[in-house]
Amino acid sequence: MPFVKTRVEIEGHVSEVIVEVPENEVEPWGKDAQLRIVGQRIPRIEGVARVTGKAVYTADVQLPGMLWCKVVRSPYPHAEIVEIDTTEAEKIPGVLAILHHGNTEPISVSGFGPVFNPVLRYVGAEVAAVAAVSEHVARDAVAAIRVTYRTLPFVLDPQKALEPDAPQVHPDGKVLGGGPRIIERGDVAQGERESDVIVERTFRLPAVHHCCMEPHGCVAVWERDDSLTMYDSTQSVVNVQTGLAGAFGLPRSKVRVLREYMGGGFGSKTGLEKYHVITALLARETRQPVKLTLERWEEIVTTGHRPYTVQTIRAGCRRDGTLTFLDLKAWVSAGAEGGRFALNSGIPVREMYLCPNVRTEEYAVYTNHMTNTAMRGPGNKEGMAPLEAVMDLLAHEIGMDPIEFRKKNDTPWGDQVAKIPYSSKGLSQAYDLGAKEIGWAGKRRKVAGSDPGPIKRGVGVGSLIWGAGGGPPSAANVIINTDGSVILQSSFNDIGEGAMTAMAMVCAEELNVPLSLIQVRAGDTGLGVFDVGTYGSRLTPSLTPAIRNAAADARRQVLQAVSELMDVEVNDLYMEEGVVRSRTDPSFAQPLPNVARQFTHAVVGRGFRGPNPSDYRVTAFGAQFAEVEVDTRTGQVKVLKLVAAHDCGRAINPFLVEGQIHGGLALGRGYAMSEERVIDPNTGVVVTCNYTDYKLPTAIDMPEQVPIIVPQIDEFSNNTNTKGMAEPPGIPTAAAIVNAIYNATGVVVTELPLTAERVLRALRTAGK
Amino acid sequence: MRQQQRPPRLARRTLLKAAGTVAASSGLLGGVRIRRRGRLSGQALAAELPPAARGYRPAVMQAVILTVNGTEYTVEVDTRDTLANLLRERLHLTGTHVTCDRGECGACTVVVDGRAVYSCSVLAVQVQGREVLTIEGLAAADGLDPIQQAFIDCDGFQCGYCTAGQIMSIKACLMREPDPTEAEIRNAVAGNICRCGAYPGIIAAGLQAAKAQRQGR
C-alpha cells in the first residue's frame, strides 16, 4: 500500500494530505469514451420522495418523548452577563432543563469560541438554552428567563475597528492573525512605472446570508451506553461526528450523525456549531431526545454570512492591453471570532489574469456581529466584482473590447510563480459561447452610456476562476447482494444538488447495469465508508473516481466468481446492462440476479479517491454575461438576461449542472441587486432578519437565464474527467451586472447591492 | 359556538402581525367560526407585550374539526398552534415545511377551500370546518399528480424543501385557471422563495402540468 503526499485545494485553502494510491485505479474515461448513462439528462432518482412530501428532512424528525430546545440570545452586540435568573422559568410546567455558562461545563467549538460565553460579542450570541415538552413551552421559558447584562462599547465597521481607540472586540487583537495578510509577486511600483493607464476604485460589498430553506437544526439522542446519535441538517455528517466526539470526549465510534434529506446549505452547514453541542447537552441532561430547529431570525443572525468588505483596487496596463500591475487592499468585517474564510478576497486578483506585479493586502477585522462563514465561493465572489470592474475600466481607457482585453491577459499557468499548468481551461470557449448567446457584438455599446434618452441598455461580462479539483479523503463501497440488488454505500451528503443521482449514474455506468438497479445509502456515519463533505465544490471530483474504483472492483469479483462457478475463462467475460456475457460465446448470458443467487455472501467492491495530479492544477473557469436596462431618471435597474458559460470538465448529468448554474445565478443576482444585511449602527441589532427586509430573488425577479456547459472534458483531473461545479456559477454574476450597468451608463457603481438609490447617486455624482 | 363577523384578535405572537401575513390569510379569516374561550383575548394581549413583561399562562387547549386530504379529523390543539403545527406535529404530515414562520417564503403553502394559504400564518383554531389539501393528499397513493410529475421531469427543485409549497401554489392556480400563461404561473409562485434558484424548472413544470391536466393525463 504505497502512500503519497498530495495537494488538496478547498475553497482557497491548500493543504497537503497523505493518501494511499489505489492499487486498481481505473483508467480515465477519456474524451472518446462511449458512455451509456453518464452525460445523459436524467431526472433525479429521489424525485418522487421530494415532490410527494415523503422525504424526511431533519426538521421533520419526530421521536417518542422528544423535547424542544429554544435559546436565549444576546440582545446586545457587546456585553457581559452579570446574572441569569431562571427561577420563574423553572416553575413553568414542562420545562425540563435550562443550561447556561453558570451550570455547564466549558466546551468550545472550533471557530466559534465557548458555547456559553459570559462575554457576548454579537447580537444573537447564546446566553442560555431550554428543553421543554413543546415548542410553545420552550418559548414561554425563554421569555421568563431574566438576564442582567453590562453593556460594553462595540464596533461594526472594519475600518473604524482598526482605529487605535476602537473598542476591543476580541482578546487576540484587532485583526485575525495579528495583522494583514500580504501576498505579493514582482514589484507593484515597477508595474506602475510601466503603465500607460492606471485606474483605482473603492468598492463596498454587502454581507449576505445563506438563507437555506431548511433552517439549521438537529435532534440529539443519548443511548443508554452513553453513545450519541444526532440527526442533523449538515453538509458533512463526518465533520459533525468528529466535532461532537471532540466536544464530548468520545471516540468517534460512539457518535453517529445521520440525515435522510437535506434542505440546502450553501456553505453554512459544514461542521460543528454551537447549536449541536447545546442540543446534545440538553439531551444528556434530560435523557430524552431533544430537537432544535432555528427560527428564521436566528438563522439569519447567528449562522454566519458572506462578510461585508471594503476593497480598494488599483490596476494598470499598457496601451497594447498588457496588464502591468494589480494592487488590492481589502478590509473584511470578519465578525466576533474571525472565521476561516475572511481572507479569500485576494484570490481573483492573484490568479485570474497573467500579471507579473501583484500585491494583495487583506485585513480580516474583528467586529461585533456574528462570525462570517463559508458561503458558496467564499471570498472569491467578493473579490471578483472589483477586479472585473477595473478590467472594464482599463479596457475602456485603451479602447479595447473587454473580452479581447481579458483574452490578451489570459494565463496558461495554474501557479504563475511555479509555472504549473491548469489541467484544462475552457475560459476562452466560455467567453466565445457566452458572447454569442448574449449577442455581444450587436448589443455592446461601443461608447458606454451612448443610448439616446433616459432609458439605457448595455451588456457586461464577468469571469470566474475557482479551485475545483476536490481530492481525498473520499471512499465508497459497491455491494452486490445475493439477491442481485446493488447498493452504493458512502457517507456522502446530498444537500439538494443531486449527488445521489449523479453518484448512482457513475456506479451504474462503471458496473454496466441499469440505473434503476442502484440503491444509494448515504448521509450516515453509521455506514462507516467516509466522504468528508459536500463543500468547496469537491464532491463530484472527489467521490465519482472512488465510486468508479469501487464498482470496477465489484464487477471484477462478480466476473471472477462466474468464471469459477461456470468454468469459463474470466478474460472472456464482461457485464452488459446487468447481464454477464462472454466474448467467445454469444449464447452465454447470465443476468446478475441469477448469478448473485449462487453467491454465499455479498460481493463488496471497495474504492477510494487517490491523489490529485501532481503536475497540474485543477481549476474551474467560466464567464457570465448580463444584459441590463437602466432608467437614469430613477436609478432603477432591470436585469433582462443572464448567460452563464461554464467549464466544469465532464458533466456527469447536464440537467443537474444546469440546476447548479440556475442556483448560482439566483444567488449572484441577489448579491448584485437586492440582498444586504443591515445592522442598526446605534444598537448593533441586525434589522434585516426576515424575508420581508432581507430580499431574496423570487420567480418574478429572475430574468431569462441561459446555462451553457463548455463541451470539453478534463483529461488530467481524475478518472471521471470532472471538475467541481457547485460554487463557480455564483461567482461572476455580480461582476457581469456591474459591467453591464457601466456599459449602459458609463458609470461603475461601486456599492452593492445595486439599489435604485445607489445607482442614482452614482449617476448623479458622475454628472449623468 | 357563535359566528364572528370580524376576526377576533388572535395574535399567536406579535410576529403574526406582519403585512404579508394579513395578505396571505385574509381570505380565510373572513367569517371563520371560532369557539371563543375567556382566556384567548388575555393571551393575545400578553403576546403584544414585550417578552420581559409577559407573564406565563398555561396552554389553552381546544378541539378543532377539519378535513385534511379528504379525511375528517378532530384534533385537540394548543390555541397558539398554527395550521402548520397542526399538520406537522399533530397529524405528522411533515411534507409541509416551515421556513420563515411568518408568511414570507411560502414553503408552508397548503390549499384551504381552493385557495393557496400560508399554513404558518393561520391558527389551527381558524380552520374549524375547513377543507385542507396538503402535498400528501395531492395524488392517489400509487401515482403522481401531473404537477408532481412535471416537477420531476423539469427539475423544478433541488433540495426540495420549498417544493411542497411551490406545488400547492401551482395547484391552487390550476384549480382556478386550467390554461395559465407563463406570467400567471410566475405570479402563482411569486410568494414562494426557492433559495436553490430552481425557478426556470418550476415555471416549466407549471406549464407542463397545466398542459397535462388539460389533456386529462
Residue B217's pLDDT band, with cuts at 50, 70 and 90, is: low
Non-local (6+) Cβ contacts of B82 within 8 A are B12, B119, B120, B121, B122, B123, B124
CA A223 to chain centre: 33
B192 vs A: CB within 8 A: yes
CA distances to A261, B74, B105 from B88, in Å: 17, 15, 17
B162 vs A: CB within 8 A: yes
Q: Strand, coil or helix: what is A106?
A: coil
| Grid coordinates of A709 | 456547459
CA distance A266 to B158: 12
B97 vs A: CB within 8 A: yes
The amino acid at residue A103 is N
Domains defined for chain B, CATH in brackets: 14-137 (3.10.20.30), 146-214 (1.10.150.120)
In contact, A210 and A304? CB cutoff 8 Å: yes
pLDDT at B27 over 70: no
pLDDT in the model for residue A512: 97
Q: Is B76 exposed, middle or buried (0-12, 13-18, 19+ CB in 10 A)?
A: exposed
Cis peptide before A732 (omega within 30 of 0): no
Residues of B in contact with A92 (CB under 8 A): 56
| B178 Cα to chain A: minimum distance (Å) | 20
In which residue are the cell numbers 446487468 written?
Answer: A578
Facing residue for A692 by CB, picked from B18, B94, B163: B18
- Greater pLDDT, B169 or B217: B169
Q: ipTM, 2 decimals?
A: 0.97
Facing residue for A665 by CB, picked from B96, B98, B197: B197
| Grid coordinates of A163 | 482605529
Q: Do domains A3-34+470-608 and A411-460+619-768 have the same CATH topology?
A: yes
Q: Mark yes or no for CB contact A60/B88 under 8 Å.
A: yes
Non-local (6+) Cβ contacts of A652 within 8 A are A38, A39, A502, A505, A506, A540, A544, A720, A722
Q: Mark yes or no for CB contact A48/B152 under 8 Å.
A: yes
CA distance A608 to A251: 24
Per residue in A493-544, pLDDT tens? 999 999 999 999 999 999 999 999 999 999 999 999 999 999 999 999 999 9
Return phi, psi of residue B88, to 5°. -75, -45
DSSP-assigned letters across all residues of A304-335: --BPPEEEEEEEEE-TTS-EEEEEEEEEEEEE
A-B CB pairs within 8 A amount to 188
| B55 Cα to chain A: minimum distance (Å) | 8
Return phi, psi of residue A405, to 5°. -60, -45
Per CATH, the number for A3-34+470-608 is 3.30.365.10
DSSP state of B14: G
Facing residue for B159 by CB, picked from A296, A495, A656: A495
Per residue in A692-745, pLDDT tens? 999 999 999 999 999 999 999 999 999 999 999 999 999 999 999 999 999 999
pLDDT at A403 over 60: yes
CA distance A547 to A540: 10
Q: Region A404-409: what's the mean pLDDT?
A: 98
Non-local (6+) Cβ contacts of B49 within 8 A are none
Per residue in A346-375, pLDDT tens? 999 999 999 999 999 999 999 999 999 999
Per residue in A584-617, pLDDT tens? 999 999 999 999 999 999 999 999 999 999 999 9
What percentage of chain B's residues is helix, strand, coil (to nearest 5)? Answer: 40, 15, 45
| Count of CB atoms situated within 10 Å of the CB of B66 | 21
B20 vs A: CB within 8 A: yes
Q: Mark yes or no for CB contact B201/A662 under 8 Å.
A: yes
pLDDT in the model for residue A597: 94
Residues of B in contact with A662 (CB under 8 A): 197-201
Facing residue for A51 by CB, picked from B20, B89, B148: B148
CA distance A217 to A289: 13
Residues of B in contact with A53 (CB under 8 A): 93-96, 134-136, 164
pLDDT in the model for residue A601: 94
Per residue in A131-168, pLDDT tens? 999 999 999 999 999 999 999 999 999 999 999 999 99
pLDDT in the model for residue B9: 39
DSSP state of A691: T
Residue B47's pLDDT band, with cuts at 50, 70 and 90, is: very low
Q: Mark yes or no for CB contact B159/A496 under 8 Å.
A: yes
Q: Mark yes or no for CB contact B197/A664 under 8 Å.
A: yes
> A411-460+619-768 has which fold?
Aldehyde Oxidoreductase; domain 4 (3.30.365)
Paired sense of beta strands A579-582 and A589-591, if any: antiparallel
**In the CATH scheme, what architecture does the domain A58-152+213-264+269-302 have?**
Alpha-Beta Complex (3.90)
Residue B39's pLDDT band, with cuts at 50, 70 and 90, is: very low
CA distances to A179, A307, A750 from A333, in Å: 14, 6, 17
pLDDT at B1 over 80: no
CA B186 to chain centre: 19
Facing residue for B56 by CB, picked from A49, A92, A665: A92
Q: Strand, coil or helix: what is A14?
A: strand
| Count of CB atoms situated within 10 Å of the CB of A409 | 16
Domain ranges of chain A: 3-34+470-608, 58-152+213-264+269-302, 411-460+619-768
Residues of B in contact with A696 (CB under 8 A): 193, 195
Q: With pLDDT > 90 as the criterion, what percentage of chain A qualifies?
A: 98
A241-258 in b/e form (b: 16+ CB < 10 A) is: bbbbbbbbeeeeebbbbb
In contact, A39 and A650? CB cutoff 8 Å: yes
Q: What's A713-765 look like in SS3? A: CCCCCCCCCECCCCCHHHCCHHHHHHHHHHHHHCCCCCECCCCHHHHHHHHHH
B118 vs A: CB within 8 A: no
Q: Mark yes or no for CB contact B104/A52 under 8 Å.
A: no
Q: Mark yes or no for CB contact A698/B190 under 8 Å.
A: yes
B159 vs A: CB within 8 A: yes
Residues of A in contact with B80 (CB under 8 A): 136
- Greater pLDDT, A682 or B45: A682
Per residue in B71-80, pLDDT tens? 999 999 999 9
Paired sense of beta strands A67-73 and A290-293, if any: parallel
Taking the CA atoms of chain B, what radius of gyration do you get in angstroms? 18
Q: How many CA atoms lie within 13 A of A33 on its CB side?
A: 21
**Long-range pairs of B126-129 with CB within 8 A, sequence gap ≥ 24:** B126/B10, B126/B25, B126/B28, B126/B29, B126/B32, B126/B34, B126/B83, B127/B28, B127/B32, B127/B64, B127/B66, B127/B83, B127/B86, B128/B32, B128/B33, B128/B34, B128/B35, B128/B64, B128/B65, B128/B66, B129/B33, B129/B65, B129/B66
Q: Mark yes or no for CB contact A47/B151 under 8 Å.
A: yes
